[in-house]
Amino acid sequence: MADNSGKILKSIKPNKIIYPIVIGLGVSGFMLYREFDPGSLSFFEFTLQSVFWLLVSLLLMAFRDFWYMVRIRLLTANELTWRKAFNIIMLWEFSSAITPSAIGGTSVAIFFLNKEGIRIGRSSAVVMVTSFLDELYFILVFPLVLFLIGRTDIFTFGESMEHRVWYENQFLMFALLGYFLKLIYTIILSYGLFFNPRGLKFLLLWVFKLPIIRKWRPHANETGTDLIATSKEFRNWPLSSWLKAFGATVISWTSRYWVVNTLIIAFFGVHFLSWDEHIIIFGKQLVMWIMMLVSPTPGGSGFAEYVFKTFLTGMIPVGTGVAMAFFWRLISYYPYLIIGAILIPRWIRKHFFTS
């Protein structure tokens, strides 16, 4: 880890916030230029009720981060203070926001935990278990939402797909592929965590003998070692602790997804959508999450705004999608760039330049 410190610190420089901001605002500005309709502004209601629901949106994001902090303290047996937990979560979110969504901030999370006093083996274990819990949430909630909706509205992009059979909907097929890949990953990770970590490490090393992926074999070996350490740490964890950690995961992710619903209520009123339509929007965000995982831009900038605007076509007034996408990112994404840019210099001074 020490050998990689310079590389990791270079990857989380505060000035890297420029790229996602420029990309995100650039795409939003371009879409607004192409689709702006002055009449669409009449759909936005700015009242005391709007202010209240905007505050609720912000509180949901704060709630989400609070329960992330609760979870990471649970997974570290409360070795982290609330201040340290806050620093780690904010830095983790910042690194996720400035790297492509497919990479995320997981690779540097172990580094943050280790520098905050968690030994390297346990840091690896904690990060791996958080990944497991996040995937488990998606694996369980996605089919539940489909059951509650009872139809495939969450896979429609505007109106173009409404009259096609299900297998002609590329977004449905993409989501199903993503779901089953996540399911396979979760099953394999569960097997390694709870039953046979050494066997899974052996399998990883055997697979990574293939010529195409042989260059990543050292990383596979490191992952296998982390998996064994994780299994030792958490295999005998009591059920009550697992339930608490998963409960914190459920509350955190659900809070994040409901931000869009509260924004719609803020601008268009409480009765603008029915309860069923709110569930559809919640489900659409699960699909969006799969699609954003393949975005090559930092934090999904540009791609996220486009997908958000397009996915909500038909659910909100025509011409308001771009503005809603901007407000959504303003609340759920840009704050992490700002907080991280403030925290990073102080955190580096504390851990690398103080005697």
* Higher-confidence position of 240 and 221: 240
What's the average model confidence in pLDDT over 162-171? 59
For 192, the 3-state DSSP assignment is helix
Distance CA 27, CA 32 (A): 8
Span of 78-92, 223-237, 238-252, 290-304 with lowest mean pLDDT: 290-304
Dihedral over Cα of 313, 317, 319, 325: its sign: negative
What's the average model confidence in pLDDT over 56-65? 94
Residue 55: DSSP 8-state: H
How many CA atoms within 13 Å lie on the side-chain side of 213? 11
Distance CA 218, CA 154 (A): 40
Domain count, the chain: 1
CA-nearest of 209, 254, 204 to 226 is 204
User: Is the separation of the CB atoms in 100 and 216 below 8 Å?
Assistant: no
Span of 163-167, 208-212, 303-307, 313-317 with lowest mean pLDDT: 163-167
CA-nearest of 133, 186, 170, 130 to 287 is 170
Q: Which two tokens stand for residue 243?
A: 């339930």
Span of 9-13, 316-320, 337-341 with lowest mean pLDDT: 9-13
Distance CA 56, CA 163 (A): 37
- Cα dist. 336→15, 123, 184, 305, 308 in Å? 13, 22, 31, 17, 19
User: Is the separation of the CB atoms in 291 and 174 below 8 Å?
Assistant: yes
Task: Output the DSSP codes for 70-130.
Answer: HHHHHHTTT-S-HHHHHHHHHHHHHHHHTSBTTT-SHHHHHHHHHHTT--HHHHHHHHHHH
Task: Output the DSSP codes for 134-178.
Answer: HHHHHHHHHHHHHHHH-SSGGG--TTTTTTS-GGG-HHHHHHHHH
**What is the structure's pLDDT at 84?**
92
Model confidence pLDDT, tens digit, residues 86-123:
999 998 888 887 776 555 556 678 788 888 888 776 77
- Tell whether pTM > 0.95: no
Range of the domain at 81: 5-352
Model confidence pLDDT, tens digit, residues 256-272:
999 999 998 988 888 78
Span of 30-34, 258-262, 274-278, 281-285 with lowest mean pLDDT: 30-34
